[in-house]
Amino acid sequence: MELEKVFTVHVKILETFELRNTEDDSVVMITFTGDVTGKYFEGIVLNGGVDTQVIGKGGDRHSLSARYMLQGEDFTGQSCEIYIENNGNINKKLKSSLFRTSPTIITNSTALSFLNSDILVGEGKATDTGLDIIIYRVSTS
């Protein structure tokens, strides 16, 4: 099994909203935009992207669920949109990244239609300017 990089989402955080709870789970909602680079797609993150994080009372759990829409061009030069639902968990044991996710993608690009059904893996990495989300496709060849 190999991972092939599909594209990288360069996240630009806009606003953060917090619900702090001393008795139970807490919630953080982060709105964001950004741009996307990669061999299969180049474009932008449309306004309205949000990452919702639920943090367990004792800090033992930290899940994330992000939903956002991309607009740009696929590798054939055709205009298209991509919707991403990205769910995962923060894992303090990871050395090379902050978290891993299981993205689900829906696109109207014929050339990228393989993303609608391929097994995908996401990885979040801190950068000097914020956060990069790298989306990989799993290749079993």
Q: Which contacts of 23-27 are long-range, i.e. CB under 8 A and separated by 24 or more positions?
A: 23/57, 24/57, 25/54, 25/55, 25/56, 25/57, 25/61, 26/54, 26/55, 26/57, 27/52, 27/53, 27/54, 27/55
Mean pLDDT of 92-100: 81
Mean pLDDT of 119-138: 92
Is 103's pLDDT higher than 90? Answer: yes
Give the mean model confidence (pLDDT) for residues 88-116.
Answer: 90
Kindly state the average pLDDT of the residues 20-30.
Answer: 91
DSSP SS3 for 114: helix
Cβ atoms of residues 101 and 119 within 8 Å: no
**Which of 19-23, 39-43, 44-48, 56-60 shows the lowest per-residue confidence on average (mean pLDDT)?**
56-60
Q: What is the tens place of the pLDDT at every residue in 26-42?
A: 999 999 999 999 999 99
Pairwise pLDDT comparison (84 vs 139), residue with the higher score: 84
User: pLDDT value at position 141?
Assistant: 63
pLDDT band at 107 (very low <50, low <70, confident <90, very high): very high
- In this prediction, residue 8 carries a pLDDT of 98
Stated pTM of the model: 0.92
